[in-house]
């Protein structure tokens, strides 16, 4: 509803004269008018057109105004349409019942033009304000969601960042305490990464980081997490996975790197990585598990790089 002159109003009354009186009043303000003489026809219209506001008689045959209102309010697509009851019933109990049924206002017959217009315009303004607030809230929610994603994402690779992976590890620790199922970490580092920057420039270094990130992302399950842990370091979190299962993942990444070359500005690049693997136990905390993976990776670096090391022993590759 962009403008009050474009607002659509449905009038529901079984008495033709009342329909015409209200239509004439509302047309003086250029509202779009639709009319129905019973609740069933009105329901069909509402399901097709979704008017901005409904003026609803109470005493009608077959389906009275309260029943009609009940049908609208239980439907998610129509429950927000404001309903103003119009009735010759003028006792306080009648009005209270109207509000309890879901009406936003109550106009008694006979109609007074200025009162009808004032009440209609008030509720159309309220509806516009509610729609504007809802749209603003949704916009803010989208912005918040985008900020939250950005706060948990490495901007270069699109992987999780340290904050995100640390929170995920804390969650896996809680799961482990409940179920006893292990989780494993793979800490991996690009061998001789500095030479890519030194020989080909920092854009090449970024290309290598993104290429490696995409490769690792393609080798893990949906429930696994891959994070950029440091400049050229990456951390993989593998829920419900032991050391041997983690080694299968590391083997897949390692094998692909061994078989694949990367082309960067007519230069052929070979990339290798060293992997350290540890598995969480209830006697440790995630920080200890990370240190174990880091120590395993360091042993791999010392022994010649381009290998996979478990936290207990080296596995030749």
Please name the residue that has the structure tokens 């809680």: 174
Write down the pLDDT at residue 315. 42
Give the whole-angstrom CA distance, residue 167 versus residue 153: 13
The DSSP string of 173-210 is: HHHHHHH---EEEEEEEETTHHHHHHHH-HHHHHHHHH
Give the whole-angstrom CA distance, residue 309 versus residue 250: 10
Q: Which two tokens stand for residue 193?
A: 């990464």
Residue ranges covered by each domain of the chain = 4-143, 162-315
- Which of 188, 156, 190 shows the shortest CA–CA distance to 270? 190
Q: Catalytic residues, which ones?
A: 232
The residues, any chain, with a CB within 8 Å of residue 281's CB and separated by 6 or more, are 182
Q: Is pTM, for the whole model, over 0.85?
A: no
Q: Could you tell me the CATH superfamily of domain 4-143?
A: Response regulator (3.40.50.2300)
- Which of 243, 246, 275 shows the shortest CA–CA distance to 258? 275
Q: Which residues of 34-71 are buried (b: 16+ CB within 10 A; e: fewer)?
A: bbbbbbeebbebbeeeebbbbbbbbebeebbbbebbeb
The DSSP string of 275-305 is: EEEEE--TTS-HHHHHHHHHHHHHHHHHTTS
Write down the pLDDT at residue 282. 63
Specify which residues 308 forms β-bridges with.
Answer: 275, 315
| CATH architecture observed for domain 162-315 | 2-Layer Sandwich (3.30)
Would you write out the chain's pLDDT as a tens digit for each of its 317 residues?
A: 544 458 999 999 999 999 999 999 999 999 999 999 999 999 999 999 999 999 999 999 889 999 999 999 999 999 999 999 999 998 999 999 999 999 999 999 999 999 999 999 999 999 999 999 999 999 999 999 999 989 999 999 999 999 999 999 999 999 988 888 889 999 999 999 999 999 999 999 999 999 999 999 999 999 999 999 999 999 999 999 999 999 999 999 999 999 999 999 999 999 999 999 999 876 678 899 999 999 999 999 999 999 999 997 444 44
Give the whole-angstrom CA distance, residue 227 versus residue 114: 65
Write down the pLDDT at residue 179. 86
């Amino acid at each position: 509803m962009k403008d009050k002159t474009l607002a659509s109003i449905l009038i529901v009354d079984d008495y033709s004269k009342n329909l015409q009186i209200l239509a004439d009043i509302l047309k003086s303000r250029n509202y779009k008018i639709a009319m129905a003489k019973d609740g069933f026809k009105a329901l069909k219209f509402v399901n097709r057109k979704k008017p901005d506001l409904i003026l609803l008689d109470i005493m009608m045959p077959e389906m009275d105004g309260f029943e009609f209102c009940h049908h609208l309010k239980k439907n998610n697509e129509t429950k927000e349409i404001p309903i103003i009851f119009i009735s010759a019933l003028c006792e306080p109990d009648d009005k209270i019942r109207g509000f309890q049924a879901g009406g936003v206002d109550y106009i008694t017959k006979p109609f007074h033009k200025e009162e009808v217009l004032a009440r209609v315009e008030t509720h159309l303004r309220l509806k516009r304000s509610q729609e504007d607030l809802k749209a603003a809230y949704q916009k803010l929610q989208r912005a918040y969601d985008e900020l939250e994603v950005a706060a948990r994402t490495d901007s270069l690779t699109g992987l999780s960042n340290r904050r995100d992976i640390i929170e995920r590890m804390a969650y896996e620790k809680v799961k482990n305490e409940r179920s006893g199922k292990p989780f494993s970490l793979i800490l991996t580092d690009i061998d001789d990464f500095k030479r890519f920057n030194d020989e080909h420039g920092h854009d090449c270094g970024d290309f290598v980081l993104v290429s490696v990130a995409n490769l690792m992302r393609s080798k893990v399950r949906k429930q696994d997490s891959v994070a950029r842990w440091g400049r050229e370091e990456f951390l993989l979190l593998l829920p419900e996975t032991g050391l041997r299962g983690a080694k299968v993942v590391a083997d897949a990444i390692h094998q692909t790197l061994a078989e694949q070359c990367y082309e960067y500005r007519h230069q052929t690049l070979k990339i290798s990585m060293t992997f350290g693997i540890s598995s969480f136990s209830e006697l440790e905390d995630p920080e200890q598990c990370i240190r174990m993976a880091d120590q395993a990776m360091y042993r791999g670096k010392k022994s010649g790089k381009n290998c996979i090391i478990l936290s207990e022993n080296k596995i030749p590759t």
